[in-house]
Structure 1
Amino acid sequence: MYAILDIETTGGKYNEEGITEIAIYRFDGHEVVDQFSSLVNPERPIQPFVVNLTGINSDMLRNAPKFYEVAKRIIEITNDCILVAHNAKFDNRILTTEFDRLGYPFEKDTLCTVELSKKLIPDLPSYSLGKLVRSLGIPLSDRHRAQGDAKATVTLFKMLLNKDNNKEIISTSIKKDPKRQLEPKLIDMIAAAPTDTGVYYMHKADGSIIYIGKSKNIKKRLTQHFTNDNKKSKQIQLEVTAVTYEKTGNDLIAQLKESEEIKHNKPRYNRALRKTLFQYQLAVHKNEEGYLELKIEKSDARKKPVTTFTNYQQAKSALFLITEKYQLCQKLTGLHKTDGACFQYTIKECLGACIQKESAEAYNERVREFLDKNSYSNQHMLIIDKGRDIDERSVILIENGNYKGYGYYNLNYQINNPEILRSIINPMQNNRDAQHIIQSYLRRNKVLKIVNLPQEAPM
């Protein structure tokens, strides 16, 4: 649990500042579950430059509660939380100082979004909150006011959690949370899990990840894990002390995240999914008569496939549909072994390429139509689908047939600006498994929208 906050102060000498405004959002890693904001009477003068910066003056604070009057609420909303702030050292020092004046020990672990941003989003020109969120396309209203800055920090932290492929933030959080060290009851983990689509992570007591999985219903999948009596499940049940998760909004991003993070983190109990996901691929060759032939082959890393398949039966079923849709010849697609005309020609569903009655030029035109629409190697597109919330959409970027990554954007925000698009995309590895996942998903499922990009892609 995190308490994401922002504090405005009077300015002045070190450790003599007073709080003029505070805003805190209690955040469970996925959504805000509680919030508090208030002006605070600092009982001391405000520096003129601070008045100009924040717009908060002494007249506004004359009837505001003093710190001791809001202290109980602050303790409640930050209970069992890690403090998160933009320049967390400053905000934590100010809070600690105010509580020291009341004789109350206020001790919290902290995470700083400045430091996290520099690590996870390197080489930006500025990491001040205003310039940083602007470069990332995060809305910010009421700059230099506690509620506006804290709300923007919530969105920023959510993005940083999403970009943290090594899961260092979550692992660090678990280490800092002593309650996670206790051996939990599996029923409590299931009860705390969402029914949403996403990726889940099983942790040992030291925060390290022992298993990564994905599901359209995380709660249901955890129930299966914790009620299964096979050897691996029993071992996981003994070792797991915490389960964290990330909502993805849709199954495609869940599959992509699961594949990449298993390869990256190499969890102990994910041995099977470290292997290649597909065994067959569709290739195209030109025969001696000049006809383009689509053929199913064993997967071969040395060859660039048109598309890939998990098993032979899946490949064969897909090729039958392709042959029918584009009125191709079953002999030339390897579905009908014959020395003469294919079966489809006898029922007038093949135009005769099998016996060279149809010209290679005419036949190849339909093959190329299929390749242009389905070959991954020359795709430039955005795959738009559901996001994690009702007002959010997900976007996957494909450039020159290469999977670049994914991100999320608010429905009210335009993503046609190249710089904004660059900032919201979480870079991911373009490997054959990722391409297979995307191709397979698009064959079987509908997405909200596919936006074809010009050859000069925005990335």
Structure 2
Amino acid sequence: MYAILDIETTGGKYNEEGITEIAIYRFDGHEVKDQFISLVNPEREIQPFVVNLTGINSKMLRNAPKFYEVAKRIVEITEGCIVVAHNSSFDYRILKTEFKRLGFPFKRKTLCTVELSQQLMPGMESYSLGKLTRALGIPVSDRHRANGDAMATVKLFKMLLNKDLEKAIIKSAVKIEKKSKLAPNLKEIIEELPSATGVYYIHNEKGEIIYIGKSNNIKKRIIQHFTGTSSKSKKIQALVSAVTYEKTGSELAALLKESEEIKKNKPIFNRALRRSIFTHALYSFIDENGYINIKIDKADNNVPAITTFSTRSSGKHFIFKIAEDYRLCHKLTGIDTTKTSCFKFDVKECLGACVNKESPEVYNERVNMLITKYSYENKNMLIIDKGRDIDEKSVYLIENGIFKGMGYFDLNHQINNRAILASLITPMQNDRDTQHIIQSYMRRNKRLKIVELQNQ
């Protein structure tokens, strides 16, 4: 649990500042669970430059509660939380100073979104909250007011959690939260999980991730882990201390994040030696008569493939479908192994490429259409899919046929701006597993939106 906050102060000498406004959002990593927003009477003068910056003046604060009147609420809403702020050393110091004046020690673990942004988004022009949110397309209302800045920090932190593929933030949080607790009740863990699409992380008592999985129903899948009787399930049940999760909305996002994060985190109960998630691929070659033939064969990393398949049977099913959709010859697709004309030609359903009746140029044009559709080699495009809520979409960037990464956006203008798009995208590996995931998902989901990108 996180307490994401922002504080406005009077300005003045170091450790003599007073709080004029405070906003705190209690955030579980997915949504805001509680909030506290209040002006505060600092009982001291506000520096003129601060009045100009924030618009908060002494007259506005005359009837506002003093710090001791809101202190109890601040303690309650931050209890058991990691305090998160943009430049947290400043906000945390101010809070500790105010509590010290009351004779009360205030101690919380902290996270700084400036430092996290520098780690997870290197190369940004500026890491000030205003410039950073503008670069990322995060809308901010009431800039330099506690509530506006705190809500902007919530949105920024949510983006940083998504970009943290090594899961350092959540591993640290689990370690802190579980430190003083006894072995958890598995039922209690299940009750806190959503029946939503996403990636889940099973942690031991040290906060370490021991298993990463993907599911279209996280709660249902975790129940299967906790009630399973296999050797692996029993080991997980014995070691589990917490389960965290990340909603992805899109199954494609879940598949890509699972693949990437397993490789980065190497959990002990994921199959460490799993070589590939596909076994067969679709290849093309030109025969002695100039016709493009296509065939399903065992996947070979040294040979460029049009698309890949988890099993031979799924590849065979695909071959039959495209042969029908593109009116391809069964002999030239490997369906019919005849030495002469194919069966479809005999029943007048093949245009005759198998006996040189249809010209190679005409036939190959249809084959190239399917190759273009099912391969993104050399393409510059965005794949747009469902987001985590109704106002959001997920986006996947392909540049020159190379998968660059994925992100989320909730404003249409963001993806039309290449600079903002680059900031939104979480960089991910481009390997054969990734290509297989994207290509097979595109085959299965005809309603995906594809946006062709102009060359820069």
Q: TM-score range by the shorter chain?
A: over 0.9
What residue is the counterpart of 2:237 in the other structure? 237
What residue is the counterpart of 2:299 in the other structure? 299
TM-score of the superposed pair, with normalisation by structure 1: 0.97
Q: Report the CA distance shift for 1:409/1:273 in structure 2 as closer, same or farther (over 3 A).
A: farther
- Deviations along 1:278-319, one digit per CA (max 9) or x if unpaired, are 111111100011110001111111111000011111101101
Letter in 2 for 1:321: K
SS in 1 for 2:350: coil
What residue is the counterpart of 1:145 in the other structure? 145
User: How far apart, in 2, do the equivalents of 1:451 and 1:227 lie?
Assistant: 43
Question: What are structure 1's unaligned runs of at least 5 residues?
Answer: none
> Do the aligned residues in 2 keep the contact of 1:11 with 1:50 (CA within 8 Å)?
yes
Is 1:222 the counterpart of 2:222? The answer is: yes
What residue is the counterpart of 2:253 in the other structure? 253
User: How far apart, in 1, do the equivalents of 2:124 and 2:356 lie?
Assistant: 60
> Do the aligned residues in 1 keep the contact of 2:331 with 2:337 (CA within 8 Å)?
yes
Q: CA deviation at 1:22?
A: 0.3
Q: CA deviation at 1:453?
A: 2.0
User: How far apart, in 1, do the equivalents of 2:128 and 2:109 lie?
Assistant: 22
> Do the aligned residues in 2 keep the contact of 1:7 with 1:23 (CA within 8 Å)?
yes
What residue is the counterpart of 1:192 in the other structure? 192
Q: CA deviation at 1:413?
A: 4.8
Is 1:124 the counterpart of 2:124? The answer is: yes
Question: What are structure 2's unaligned runs of at least 5 residues?
Answer: none
Task: Kindly report which structure 2 residues correspond to 1:321-332, keeping only aligned pairs within 5 A, or say none.
Answer: 321-332=321-332
What residue is the counterpart of 2:343 in the other structure? 343
Letter in 1 for 2:202: M
Q: CA deviation at 1:414?
A: 3.5
> Do the aligned residues in 1 keep the contact of 2:215 with 2:221 (CA within 8 Å)?
yes
The count of corresponding residues between Structure 1 and Structure 2 is: 456
> Do the aligned residues in 1 keep the contact of 2:442 with 2:448 (CA within 8 Å)?
no
Q: CA deviation at 1:197?
A: 0.6
Q: CA deviation at 1:373?
A: 1.8
SS in 2 for 1:435: helix
Task: Kindly report which structure 2 residues correspond to 1:89-168, keeping only aligned pairs within 5 A, or say none.
Answer: 89-168=89-168
User: How far apart, in 2, do the equivalents of 1:185 and 1:375 lie?
Assistant: 47
> Do the aligned residues in 2 keep the contact of 1:180 with 1:242 (CA within 8 Å)?
no
- Deviations along 1:306-354, one digit per CA (max 9) or x if unpaired, are 0001111110110111111111101011110111110110111111111
- Deviations along 1:169-210, one digit per CA (max 9) or x if unpaired, are 111112222457531011111111111110000111111110
> Do the aligned residues in 1 keep the contact of 2:2 with 2:28 (CA within 8 Å)?
yes
> Do the aligned residues in 2 keep the contact of 1:379 with 1:400 (CA within 8 Å)?
yes
TM-score of the superposed pair, with normalisation by structure 2: 0.98
SS in 1 for 2:416: coil
Q: CA deviation at 1:273?
A: 7.5
Q: CA deviation at 1:424?
A: 0.4
Task: Kindly report which structure 2 residues correspond to 1:77-92, keeping only aligned pairs within 5 A, or say none.
Answer: 77-92=77-92
Letter in 1 for 2:283: A
Q: Report the CA distance shift for 1:136/1:180 in structure 2 as closer, same or farther (over 3 A).
A: farther
What residue is the counterpart of 1:263 in the other structure? 263
Task: Kindly report which structure 2 residues correspond to 1:50-69, keeping only aligned pairs within 5 A, or say none.
Answer: 50-69=50-69
- Displaced runs of 4 or more, over 3 A: 178-181, 411-414
Letter in 1 for 2:405: G
SS in 1 for 2:253: helix
> Do the aligned residues in 1 keep the contact of 2:179 with 2:205 (CA within 8 Å)?
no
What residue is the counterpart of 2:210 in the other structure? 210
What residue is the counterpart of 1:375 in the other structure? 375
